[in-house]
């Protein structure tokens, strides 16, 4: 898929579609803040389809849009972008920033999982 830069509205629409899994124009209008008219959202979704970010399927009388990229792949790409943009590519800096946040609360199982992933990455030479 081409890696075109998305406008703010296109990004909001893609975020909503990923969050919902699939969505109609009306569901997107309800999901994004200060949404434009349904006709404007429909046009933006058509543009996203032309850019290769969305695909559509007919479900009865409605058109349902789905992301072309898996949520996992899109998440990895978004994380890589955030790491480069805000943390100079440093996962350590990003994780430190997250763990220092007052909102960050790791459960014991999450902490154990992170430790296990770090050990696995080390054993694989990453």
Task: Give mean pLDDT, residues 35-43.
Answer: 95
Task: Give mean pLDDT, residues 94-123.
Answer: 87
40 plus 86 within the same structural domain: no
Compute the mean pLDDT over every residue in the chain, rounded to the nearest whole number.
90
Task: Give mean pLDDT, residues 57-79.
Answer: 91
46 plus 24 within the same structural domain: yes
More confident residue, 3 or 48: 48
Task: Give mean pLDDT, residues 71-97.
Answer: 89
In a domain, 84, yes or no: yes
Nearest by Cα to 25 from 12, 5, 43, 9 = 43
Is residue 20 within 8 A of residue 31, CB to CB? The reply is yes
In a domain, 3, yes or no: no
31 plus 12 within the same structural domain: yes
Asked which of 21-30, 35-44, 93-102 is least confident by mean pLDDT, the reply is 93-102
pTM of the model: 0.71
Q: Report the distance separating Cα 73 and Cα 103, nearest Å.
A: 25
Q: What is the pLDDT of residue 96?
A: 87
Is residue 38 within 8 A of residue 24, CB to CB? The reply is no
Domain residues for the domain of 23 are 8-67
The band of 38, judged by pLDDT with boundaries at 50, 70 and 90, is very high
More confident residue, 54 or 106: 54
In a domain, 91, yes or no: yes
- What total of structural domains would you count in the chain? 2
15 plus 60 within the same structural domain: yes
């Amino acid at each position: 898929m081409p890696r075109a830069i998305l406008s703010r509205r296109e990004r909001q629409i893609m975020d909503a579609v990923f969050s919902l899994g699939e969505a109609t124009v009306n569901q997107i209008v309800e999901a994004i803040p200060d949404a434009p008219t349904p006709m404007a959202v429909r046009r933006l979704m058509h543009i996203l389809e032309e850019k290769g970010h969305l695909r559509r399927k007919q479900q009865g009388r409605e058109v349902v849009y789905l992301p072309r990229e898996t949520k996992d792949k899109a998440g990895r790409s978004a994380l890589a972008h955030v790491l480069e943009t805000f943390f100079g590519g440093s996962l350590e800096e990003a994780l430190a920033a997250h763990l220092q946040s007052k909102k960050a609360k790791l459960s014991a199982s999450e902490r154990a999982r992170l430790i296990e992933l770090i050990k696995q990455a080390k054993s694989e030479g990453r």
